[in-house]
Amino acid sequence: MDERAKVTPGPSDTEQFYVIWSWEHMGWWRSDRCGYTDYLEQAGRYTGDEAHDIARALPNFTEMPIPDHVAQKFSRPTFHPYFGLDKTGFR
């Protein structure tokens, strides 16, 4: 089997937490919806329901919930899933 085809399973949905990236503020949401930070280790951890509710409540896909175990691997997003732009604004 090709090494790239292997998928490392994350935690089950019942124990999975999310961090939220803000494209508007170019930072991670802090705990209790109180501000933003450049540092993933200072980001708040939200349940899946809470993270997705936050993202749906704001317009234009500016907030992006990311499973914590995925964010730990990649740290900062560089691709916006809606606009297709990287953080520099170029395609």
pLDDT of residue 76: 66
pLDDT of residue 89: 45
Q: Is the pTM of this model over 0.85?
A: no
Q: Please, which contacts does 85-91 make with residues 24 or more away whose CB atoms are closer than 8 Å?
A: 87/26
38-85 residue pLDDT tens: 888 899 999 999 999 999 998 777 899 999 988 888 766 655 555 554
Q: Give residue 77's identity as a one-letter amino acid code.
A: P
Phi, then psi, of 57 in degrees rounded to 5 = -75, -15
Q: Taking 70 as the threshold, does the pLDDT of residue 4 lie above it?
A: no
Three-state DSSP at 82 gives: coil
Cα–Cα distance for residue pair 17/7, rounded to 1 Å: 19
User: Who contacts 70 (Cβ-Cβ below 8 Å, separation ≥6)?
Assistant: 10
